[in-house]
């Protein structure tokens, strides 16, 4: 009995480690933005339940696989940073080869699920998003340039294109606007995190903007990208892509985002950076929730 109990305990711990490799909270946010794009692309029409399920499962596998491979590549950095040192590979609980095979397997299954049960355009876009994150961001940009999260931000924005393509089998300009919102949201969000965890990034030599440049300039860039995000998000209303529910929600969210960005400039401390980082996470979630509410309640 005790041996079986020990085996079950070890199995649960192992499964938990593999789940942790996929970064579930990030996957959940990416899936939510993808689902929002599906709702908008449907223009009030019902989406087949099977299509929704297959798209979400395929999208989850793609995001989880890319996150896993990212941790395989970055295991040397993760082991030196307090925020990431307890990750399964960095802490030695999982072997890098096992994790790599797991990540590649998720990507293969993602491509097959999306291609067979949704359409091949969504499958190709999802695979491109994973490749963008692993190759362009993790391998080519992250350790080499301060532009890492500016250019690399495109990886996190691709799921909205996948969602749009899953419903329409094309990528329309409206999907490009959703892409732009996430693309512009990423730098300020990531810089706030690296500002708060500056010592970790300095220790491992990752050239994040708050590490490479002075505090005033880093805060100014956070304000600048926040303004670009606000403008891009509000454009959806005059273009008649979104209605009044979205517009009012966006304005309220924008006031909070800009207030916190200017407060960080005036008081550039770690607590202020954490406040902006946490709010920016909430900002994106509520903004996309407002899109869903606007489409379902008004149109």
Q: What pLDDT shows up at residue 230?
A: 98
Q: Kindly state the tokens that stand for 255.
A: 């006031």
pTM: predicted TM-score of the whole model, two decimal places: 0.94
% pLDDT > 70, the chain: 98
Indicate the pLDDT class of residue 3, thresholds 50, 70 and 90: low
Are 96 and 119 a contacting pair, CB within 8 Å? no
Q: Kindly state the tokens that stand for 280.
A: 């920016």
C-alpha–C-alpha distance, residues 156 and 161, integer Å: 10
Q: What is the pLDDT of residues 175-193, one digit of tens each?
A: 999 999 999 999 999 999 9
Q: What pLDDT shows up at residue 14?
A: 87
Are 149 and 186 a contacting pair, CB within 8 Å? yes
**Neighbouring residues of 164: CB distance < 8 A, sequence distance ≥ 6:** 37, 38, 40, 41, 170, 171, 172, 174, 175, 178
Q: What pLDDT shows up at residue 94?
A: 94
**Domains defined along the chain, listed by start:** 11-148+158-168 (1.10.357.140), 172-299 (1.20.120)
> Three-state SS for 23?
coil
Q: Looking at beta carbons, which pairs linking 232-235 to residues 24 or more positions away fall under 8 Å?
A: 232/177, 232/180, 232/181, 232/184, 233/181, 233/287, 235/177
Q: What pLDDT shows up at residue 53?
A: 97
Q: What pLDDT shows up at residue 44?
A: 83
Report in angstroms the alpha-carbon separations of 257 from 50, 111, 153, 282. Answer: 37, 36, 19, 10
Mean pLDDT computed over every residue of the chain: 94
C-alpha–C-alpha distance, residues 132 and 146, integer Å: 17
For residues 150-171, average pLDDT: 96
**pLDDT exceeds cutoff 70 at 299:** no
Indicate the pLDDT class of residue 137, thresholds 50, 70 and 90: very high
**Neighbouring residues of 120: CB distance < 8 A, sequence distance ≥ 6:** 114
Three-state secondary structure of 140-203: HHCCCCCCHHHHHCHHHHHHHHHHHHHHHCCCCHHHHHHHHHHHHHHHHHHHHHHHHCHHHHHH
Q: What is the pLDDT of residues 30-53, one digit of tens each?
A: 999 999 999 999 988 899 999 999
Q: What is the pLDDT of residues 263-294, one digit of tens each?
A: 999 999 999 999 999 999 999 999 999 999 99
Q: What pLDDT shows up at residue 190?
A: 95
| Residue 117 CB-density burial (10 A; 0-12 exposed, 13-18 middle, 19+ buried) | middle
**Neighbouring residues of 152: CB distance < 8 A, sequence distance ≥ 6:** 132, 133, 136, 137, 141, 142, 186
**pLDDT exceeds cutoff 60 at 73:** yes
Q: What pLDDT shows up at residue 9?
A: 74
**Neighbouring residues of 67: CB distance < 8 A, sequence distance ≥ 6:** 21, 22, 23, 26, 27, 103, 133
């Amino acid at each position: 009995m005790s041996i079986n109990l020990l085996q079950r305990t070890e199995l649960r711990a192992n499964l938990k480690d593999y789940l942790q490799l996929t970064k579930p909270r990030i996957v959940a946010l990416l899936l939510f933005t993808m689902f929002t794009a599906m709702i908008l692309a449907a223009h009030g029409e019902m989406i087949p339940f099977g299509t929704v399920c297959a798209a979400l499962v395929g999208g989850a596998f793609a995001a989880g696989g890319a996150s896993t491979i990212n941790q395989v590549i970055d295991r040397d950095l993760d082991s030196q940073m307090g925020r990431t040192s307890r990750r399964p590979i960095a802490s030695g609980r999982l072997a890098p080869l096992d994790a790599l095979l797991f990540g590649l397997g998720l990507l293969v299954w993602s491509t097959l699920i999306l291609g067979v049960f949704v359409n091949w355009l969504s499958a190709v876009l999802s695979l491109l998003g994973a490749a963008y994150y692993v190759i362009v961001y993790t391998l080519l940009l992250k350790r080499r340039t301060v532009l890492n999260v500016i250019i690399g931000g495109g990886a996190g924005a691709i799921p909205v294109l996948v969602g749009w393509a899953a419903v329409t089998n094309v990528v329309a300009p409206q999907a490009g606007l959703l892409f732009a919102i996430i693309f512009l949201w990423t730098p300020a969000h990531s810089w706030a995190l690296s500002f708060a965890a500056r010592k970790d990034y300095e220790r491992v030599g990752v050239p994040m903007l708050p590490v490479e440049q002075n505090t005033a300039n880093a805060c100014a860039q956070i304000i600048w990208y926040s303004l670009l995000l606000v403008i891009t998000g509000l454009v959806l209303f005059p273009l008649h892509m979104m209605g009044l529910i979205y517009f009012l929600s966006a304005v309220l969210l924008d006031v909070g985002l800009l207030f916190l960005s200017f407060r960080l400039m005036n008081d550039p401390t770690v607590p202020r950076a954490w406040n902006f980082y946490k709010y920016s996470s909430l900002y994106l979630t509520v903004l996309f929730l407002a899109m869903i509410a606007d489409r379902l309640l008004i149109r």
